[in-house]
Structure 1
Amino acid sequence: MANNPAAPLNRKIALVTGAARGLGVEIARQLAARGAHVIVGARDGVKAEAVASDLRSQGLMASALQLDVTSDDDRRAAYLAIDQSHGRLDILVNNAGVLLDSPDAGMPATWRPSQTPVNVVRHTFEANFFAPLFLTQGLLPLLKRSAAGRVVNVSSIRGSLTHLSDPSSPVYPGHALAYDTSKAALNAFTVLIAEELRGTPIKVNAIHPGWLRTTMGGSQADMSVEEGARTAVQYASLDEQGATGGLFFLDERLPW
């Protein structure tokens, strides 16, 4: 429970984006169950409050934050709200994202890479790359006030150039230009910001949650959201000996 002083994340302040549905809800729940005060960030403030209220009804610590991660105004407002309420941020989970190349992750891309529409690429990059990049930059002063700041970028094995170029890889047939390249860009940002912050108390990692049974993942996926949230929570909870600047699925380091 939230008030257990032995809880591994006791009273740490954690912001989870895209936390009104699917994987985001479960990441928020698992972090709160480990003792964190979770800020449920979502574009729909009413849905964010519903998730936070449900967590509080279970005796956990949670609050809601209306946050469209693609909005400059919302990102600035998030900084001000967290600064005023908590004065710091211990954990940032950049979970919000979109898949526009196909109806779900179990289906091949609607377009060949050479034919992917401009608006699909731009909208995907706004949500999957620019939003977590700019949100992390904007919240970094609050993370620097933490004794052990943690940033988890929810990426994908589909952002691995090694896997995209390997015909034997399970993700090779997808050929989803917008989604795959946006996650590859997020991986590159992860490396660069982690190296900048190496030697500080802040650790930054990208994670592959697995192929999950969500609206985005599709009904054929082989993992539940409960299973998928474990990697995000694991890297949000790293101790001072933990890794930084990597792409992980549970304990496995994945190739870039």
Structure 2
Amino acid sequence: MNEPPAVQDAADAESLPLDFATMVGTAQYVIDAGAALLDEEPEVATSQMRGFLGLLVPEAEGRLGSFSPAGIEEARRRMDAGPGPLGPVRYAHALARSVLALCAHLGHGQEPGEPESPQAWTPPTGTSVVLVAAGRYWDAVRVRTNVGERVIKRLGGSSGAVIQDSYGSALYWFVAPGSTDMWALPSKQVVPLGVATFVAVPPAHFTDRSRRIRWAVPLTARRYLTEAELLHDALATEIAATA
């Protein structure tokens, strides 16, 4: 794994132009490192990302306005929230995504996830279920079956592909990486899965009900990711209905 870029001394930050190259390079390193951050010091990465955001947010507000599409409010929410249930690695990952998003909107680098489109990922071929790492092409959302079945009906054609795991009594949706970082739904019903987690993914043709792990909503070229906000709202509604 490549070493992270050298970070500019914070004491010089206010007197020098923003070092976008270092910010982008360091944030991308944090994202690419994934679970390997556990072997390093995620708190150091978190401190760096928070420092970058402390510089980027005022810059973005000055150039683009506080209601710009630059993700300013999202960056502020992530900074204020702290690691919480995300844990140090996923929190550092979330902050890094905000750094990349703000840098991109300020004309430096690309939005996180831009280099590889969702179509760049395909499920395993053959006849075996394979454990696939989340956090690169997609994050997953694990939902208890009793809630998930109602969510499938509620979303209808708006739902992306969904895996049913009868062994674990769960359904899995796929969403854009980082899009569930700040969710706060009850963990007994919903568990977002990002960096350092894995999902048992069946081949695309595993759709019949006789299979214990299958595609409950089949994966197609046009049906893959689910819009995270739509999924969140559907989950919140169904969970509230059973409370």
Specify the TM-score bucket, using the shorter chain as the normaliser.
under 0.3
| Structure number with larger C-alpha Rg | 2
TM-score (normalised: structure 2): 0.27
TM-score (norm 1): 0.26
